């Protein structure tokens, strides 16, 4: 069977270097490594986004911004199929069919629901509870062979496999392919520039804590110059940075941008203080991010082109989804 990868990402605004190095760049890598007979389907999980507090105007803006960012970062809509989940109604339809297969006991075991609903379980939306069933539909709909999962998503992929197995058994078919996990190469975990122990995040109130993908060259250089560091020179090995979180973070960012290990960065920068390492890091960050920013601004200026690309991706996705959805209805006697 030809390889088929399906992966979704929630539309958010304020995208930053951590999102690029930790998430979007993995998609670009998968796209670039996909054999010619395989297919990558990447979607904006906008139906998932409404399971928690939703601001409609913000969501609409975030969907466009996220799509523009993903393409700006290197997803090529001519090669990968990039689309909005909401534009392929088969996601919602199959999700409902699979609600007949999934068991409440299975969903009760999902640790992410427990974390996200917190103390207010009774007040959480039904959508948040059923979220993993929609995720199962997202991948089973396309007969995905592989799904990239971080640690927090392993349980949901297991659930998708359980749902597929039960559906196939209950209907006496082998309709659904059981997708295998792809564990992405240990993604760089980028920390705040103000505090080397907190994750770089869109929700950090300090704008100086993160490098936004829309920051211009001067802003990037200024943020790196002001990033928290220390007065010591860089050591020869990453192990020696264990108790220097800010220094370790800056070396880690350099390594992630350059596509090398922290030890390789130190092999060429050992002995340097931050007075000279920071400008080198700023140059590298600007070199990587400037073209992304330029493409992003181009899409912001031409939303019609962005919408056209998303509509085209959705049309291709609908074509791939149609036979599986039809077979699922028919297997159920509908
Ligand atoms: P944020 O923490 O800014 O709210 P999200 O939770 O929306 O980011 O994450 C979107 C994607 O980006 C996820 O795949 C997440 O793992 C990745 N990501 C977010 N922040 C970082 C970071 N600081 N370092 C690496 N990856 C990150
Ligand atoms: Na978050």
Smallest Cα–Cα separation from 23: which of 62, 80, 74? 74
Return the CATH number of the domain spanning residue range 4-188+303-331: 3.40.50.620
Q: How far apart are CA 214 and CA 259, in angstroms?
A: 22
> Tell me, what DSSP letter sits at residue 42?
E
Q: Could you tell me the distance, in angstroms and rounded to a whole number, from the CA of residue 204 to the centre of ligand 1?
A: 12
Tell me the pLDDT of the chain (334 aa) as tens digits: 899 999 999 999 889 999 999 999 999 999 999 999 999 999 999 999 999 999 999 999 999 999 999 999 999 999 999 999 999 999 999 999 999 999 999 999 999 999 999 998 999 999 999 999 999 999 999 999 999 998 788 999 999 999 999 999 999 999 999 999 998 776 678 999 998 889 999 999 999 999 999 999 999 999 999 999 999 999 999 999 999 999 999 999 999 999 999 999 999 999 999 999 999 999 999 999 999 999 999 999 999 999 999 999 999 999 999 999 999 999 999 9
Site to probe by mutation for ligand 1, drawn from 19, 45, 256 as the one with most ligand atoms within 8 Å of Cβ, is 19
Domain 207-298 homologous superfamily, CATH = Tyrosyl-Transfer RNA Synthetase (1.10.240.10)
Q: Residue 309 — φ and ψ, nearest 5°?
A: -65, -40
Cβ–ligand 1 contact at 192 (below 6 Å): no
- 283 CA from centroid of ligand 1 (Å): 23
**Interface pTM, i.e. ipTM:** 0.92
- 139 — alpha (psi -120 to 50), left (phi > 0) or beta? alpha
Return the active site residues. 116, 199, 202
User: How far apart are the C-alpha atoms of 116 and 214, rounded to whole Å?
Assistant: 29
Contact between 286 and 220 (Cβ < 8 Å): yes
Please give the structure tokens belonging to residue 51.
Answer: 């399971």
Q: Which of 180, 49, 158 is nearest to 110 (CA)?
A: 158
In angstroms, rounded to a whole number, what is the distance separating the alpha carbons of residues 314 and 1? 23
CA distances 140 to 53, 120, 163, 177, Å, are 27, 31, 9, 7
Please indicate if the annotation marks 172 as binding a ligand.
Answer: no
Bridge partners (DSSP) of residue 44 are 9, 84
Domain layout of the chain by residue ranges? 4-188+303-331, 207-298
CB 18 near ligand 1, within 6 Å: yes
User: Phi/psi at 39 (nearest 5 deg)?
Assistant: -150, 135
> What is d(CA 123, CA 106) in angstroms, rounded to the nearest whole number?
20
| CA–centroid distance, residue 204 to ligand 2 (Å) | 10
pLDDT digit string, tens, across residues 110-142: 999 999 999 989 999 999 999 999 999 999 999
């Amino acid at each position: 069977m030809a390889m088929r990868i399906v992966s979704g990402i929630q539309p958010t605004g304020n995208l930053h270097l951590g999102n690029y190095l930790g998430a979007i760049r993995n998609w670009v890598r998968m796209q670039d490594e996909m054999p010619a007979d395989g297919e990558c389907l990447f979607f904006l999980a906008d139906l998932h986004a409404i399971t928690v507090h939703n601001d409609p105007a913000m969501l609409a803006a975030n969907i466009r911004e996220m799509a523009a960012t993903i393409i700006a970062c290197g997803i090529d809509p001519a090669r990968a199929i990039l689309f909005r989940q909401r534009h392929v109604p088969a996601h919602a339809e199959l999700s409902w069919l699979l609600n007949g297969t999934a068991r409440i006991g299975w969903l009760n075991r999902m640790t992410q629901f427990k974390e996200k609903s917190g103390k207010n379980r009774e007040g959480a939306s039904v959508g948040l509870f059923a979220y993993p069933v929609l995720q199962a539909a997202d991948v089973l709909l396309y007969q995905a062979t592989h799904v990239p999962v971080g640690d927090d998503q392993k349980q949901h992929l297991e659930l998708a496999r359980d749902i597929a197995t039960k559906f196939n058994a209950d209907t006496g078919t082998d309709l659904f392919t059981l997708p295998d996990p792809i564990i992405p190469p240990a993604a760089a975990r980028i920390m705040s520039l103000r505090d080397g122990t907190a994750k770089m995040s869109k929700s950090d109130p300090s704008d100086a804590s993160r490098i936004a993908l829309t920051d211009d060259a001067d802003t990037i250089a200024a943020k790196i110059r002001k990033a928290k560091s220390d007065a010591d020179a860089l050591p020869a090995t990453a192990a020696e940075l264990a108790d220097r979180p800010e220094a370790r973070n800056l070396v880690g960012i350099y390594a992630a941008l350059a596509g090398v290990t922290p030890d390789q960065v130190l092999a060429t920068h050992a002995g340097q203080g931050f007075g000279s390492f920071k400008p080198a890091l700023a140059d590298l960050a600007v070199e990587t991010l400037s073209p992304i920013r330029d493409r992003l601004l181009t899409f912001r200026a031409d939303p019609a082109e962005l919408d056209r690309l998303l509509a085209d991706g959705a049309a291709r996705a609908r074509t791939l989804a149609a036979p599986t959805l039809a077979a699922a209805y028919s297997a159920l006697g509908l």
